Amino acid sequence: VFSIGEFSRITGLTVKTLRFYHEQGLLVPSCVDEGSGYRYYDPSKIETARVIAFLRGLDFPLDEIGRILRDAGDDADLLDVMERRRGEILATIRRQREVVRSLDELLSREKEARRLMANATFEVGETVVSPLRIAGVRMRGKYSQCGEGFARIGRRFGRHIAGKPMMLHHEAEYRDEDADYEACMPVRAGEAADGITVRELPGGRCVTLMHKGPYDDMGRSYAKILGYIRQKGYEVVLPTREVYLKGPGMIFRGNPRNYLTEIQMLVRDEGSQAVLKG
Amino acid sequence: VFSIGEFSRITGLTVKTLRFYHEQGLLVPSCVDEGSGYRYYDPSKIETARVIAFLRGLDFPLDEIGRILRDAGDDADLLDVMERRRGEILATIRRQREVVRSLDELLSREKEARRLMANATFEVGETVVSPLRIAGVRMRGKYSQCGEGFARIGRRFGRHIAGKPMMLHHEAEYRDEDADYEACMPVRAGEAADGITVRELPGGRCVTLMHKGPYDDMGRSYAKILGYIRQKGYEVVLPTREVYLKGPGMIFRGNPRNYLTEIQMLVRDEGSQAVLKG
DNA sequence: TTGCTCCTCACGTCACGTGAGGTGGC
DNA sequence: TTGCTCCTCACGTCACGTGAGGTGGC
């Protein structure tokens, strides 16, 4: 026979655990000294201990293990129990996998944002943009209310969304109140519905400037890009665009000082219908 | 502002959970009525609630969520936290997979045993067996001590074992005490070591009988198979074999009445060195 | 009065682990 | 005496859920 300490070393179960299993009636010592209360286990208990450890490894609760041990005689439904457990484990694996997938998305978005941040130049530049299919909600009021528009598009288009949120400014001037703007997002597919229009934004020659920092600080960046356009003698084609490369996110709320917004202004080199003369 | 019930419906968190998060300082109501103690939440709290729910979905403990919420400003190490979590989840998935694998083995063994049981005929038959590579421990004493021999082979050969445990009887007579027998198991590979021999059992013509039930009940089956051999005029070649198709298992201890043992006796049709004359 | 929403307080869950305080024999 | 092994008893863990008992306004 073994003392509890020896038995613990043999089975790999802690002394505390063995006492607990005794208390629960799961693994009762072969004899208990009346005077000292010492527990003694004989070798036949080793297998029971192993079975319990194995089933605990399958995350069976102790009371179920007790039941299994008790009617080990008819193993008829033991097969069922095991197969049910197997199914449950597979189900949790599937859930975990889903979780990992959503984490991966989160992480890749965040890393992309950091990459952008690292490579961004904060000087005015010129480029050519391609036509872009978007879903948009035309809004009137304060810019700060645009969130509602994005939310509506998000709910409606879900996983058809194919790029960063943008805002279109349909007026040349900046207004604090009663502005005419459009919250929109690039989409792969989906149809117009309740106030959301789907259409193609034209491509073309484009002057860009990256703005880093909070949104109410964009005046300086606008002054800078407009100065450049005036100097070059370009004409701005409305609407102008803001692309929100990194803003307050779901988890990584981030610091407004790290927000990253690209201002895009399509331009014509010359022409008569200039809306805003450079 | 929303009452706790309304806020619960909006966020999907239970009222109890919301109160608990308040108590923990995780999600504090926007205001609390002094007189009634009623909690009121304004809409800005919805996002916090969603973030908490999301992180709980990743199984982050509450205190860590609290920390994350508090220093959401600098998201520097948030990436690390998330990636660590990702790694942990992947690790548990791997563990779970291992568990499923071992369950599958258990289940397939058990199903195999049941299939055997269903198809077994309990009549004497004749077959031809192939040579079989085995690891064996020669023992002397009581049959019931064979378990120790199997255990030694199991420890030594582990996953090289390629079949059901067997016992070889090196004497023609059955003895209760001081029997000369050999516990052995089919093996794919592995070398002889400390008392375990590895060799090839010869194949050949073989008379078989399936015995169902407890081991101390095998006398009748032996009488039956020996009766058959005598009637046919065969000679038995020693050692005779018992194959333990289903006995007390690790988990599915089963009922001794369902134990399944195949008795195999290699025979010669005629010859002079007969050990046991039919 | 009934029904609804809110409150607090105490206790339960699950499988142990921690730690205090004590014993008995070398 | 010190060190070791054993004991019991009470409490902690984690994220809530349960239930009792009560309030306040329609």
Render pLDDT for B1-38 as a digit per residue (tens, 0 to 9). Answer: 899 999 999 999 999 999 999 999 999 999 999 888 99
Q: How far is the CA of B1 from the C1' of C4 (A)?
A: 19
Cβ(B57)–Cβ(A99) below 8 Å? yes
First to last CA, chain B: 98
Question: CB within 8 A of A3, min separation 6: which ones?
Answer: A38, A39, A40
In the block, residue with structure tokens 């690209």 = A262
Q: Per the CB < 8 Å rule, is B252 touching A57?
A: no
CB contacts of A110 in chain B (<8 Å) are: 75, 79
CA-based nearest residue in chain A for residue B100: A86
Confidence band (pLDDT; 50, 70, 90) for B253?
low
First to last CA, chain A: 98
Amino acid at site B148:
E
Q: How far apart are CA A175 and CA A173, in angstroms?
A: 6
Q: Per the CB < 8 Å rule, is B89 touching A78?
A: no
Q: Per the CB < 8 Å rule, is B103 touching A110?
A: no
B15 nearest nucleotide via C1' and CA: C6
Residue A255 touches partner B, C-beta closer than 8 Å: yes
Q: Which residue, B106, B244, B47, B225, is CA-closest to B163? A: B244
User: Residues B194-206: pLDDT tens digits?
Assistant: 899 999 999 999 9
Residue A112 touches partner B, C-beta closer than 8 Å: no
Q: How far apart are CA B62 and CA A278, in angstroms?
A: 56
Q: How far apart are CA B12 and CA A236, in angstroms?
A: 48
Cβ(A4)–Cβ(A15) below 8 Å? yes
Q: Is the peptide bond before B239 cis (omega within 30 degrees of 0)?
A: yes
Q: Per the CB < 8 Å rule, is A99 touching B51?
A: no
Q: How far apart are CA A165 and CA A150, in angstroms?
A: 7
Amino acid at site A249:
G
Residue of A68, A253, A258 to mutate, interface with B, max B Cβ within 10 Å: A253
Report the range of poorest mean pLDDT among A143-152, B89-98, B226-235, B247-256. Answer: B247-256
Question: CB within 8 A of A164, min separation 6: which ones?
Answer: A185, A186, A243, A244, A245
Reading the block at residue B75, the tokens are 């998201």
3 state DSSP class of A185 = strand
In the block, residue with structure tokens 């530049």 = A125
Residue B56 touches partner A, C-beta closer than 8 Å: no
Question: CB within 8 A of A160, min separation 6: which ones?
Answer: A187, A188, A189, A190
**For chain B, what is the mean pLDDT?**
88
pTM of the model as a whole: 0.71
Which run of H or of E encompasses B239?
A: strand B235-246
Q: How far is CA B245 from CA A9, A230, B144, B255, in A?
A: 32, 92, 17, 14
Q: Can you tell me which residue has its alpha carbon closest to the C1' of nucleotide D7? A: A37
Of A85, A107, A255, the CB nearest to B82: A107
In the predicted structure, residue A272 carries a pLDDT above the cut 60:
no
Phi (first) and psi of residue B67, to 5 degrees: -60, -45
Q: How far is the CA of A62 from the C1' of C14 (A)?
A: 9
CA atoms within 13 Å, Cβ hemisphere of B16? 0
Q: Per the CB < 8 Å rule, is B86 touching A100?
A: yes
Q: Per the CB < 8 Å rule, is A100 touching B93?
A: yes
What pLDDT was estimated at residue B74? 57
Residue percentage of chain B with pLDDT more than 70:
92
Which run of H or of E encompasses B92?
A: helix B78-119
Per 3-state DSSP, chain B is made up of helix, strand and coil in percentages (nearest 5) of 45, 25, 30
In the predicted structure, residue B274 carries a pLDDT above the cut 50:
no
Q: What is the DSSP string of B24-53?
A: TTSS--SEE-TTT--EEE-THHHHHHHHHH
Q: Which of residues 23 to 62 on A have a Cβ less than 7 angstroms from any strand D atom? A: 36-39
Rounded CA Rg of chain A? 34
CA-based nearest residue in chain A for residue B110: A79
Cβ(A100)–Cβ(B86) below 8 Å? yes
Mean pLDDT value of segment A25-30: 94
User: Residues B41-79: pLDDT tens digits?
Assistant: 999 899 899 989 989 988 899 999 998 888 765 566 678
Residue B180 touches partner A, C-beta closer than 8 Å: no
Q: Per the CB < 8 Å rule, is B75 touching A100?
A: no
Other Cβ atoms closer than 10 A to B243? 17
CB contacts of A47 in chain B (<8 Å) are: 250
User: Residues A43-80: pLDDT tens digits?
Assistant: 989 989 998 998 998 889 999 999 888 876 556 667 88
Residue of B50, B103, B107 to mutate, interface with A, max A Cβ within 10 Å: B103
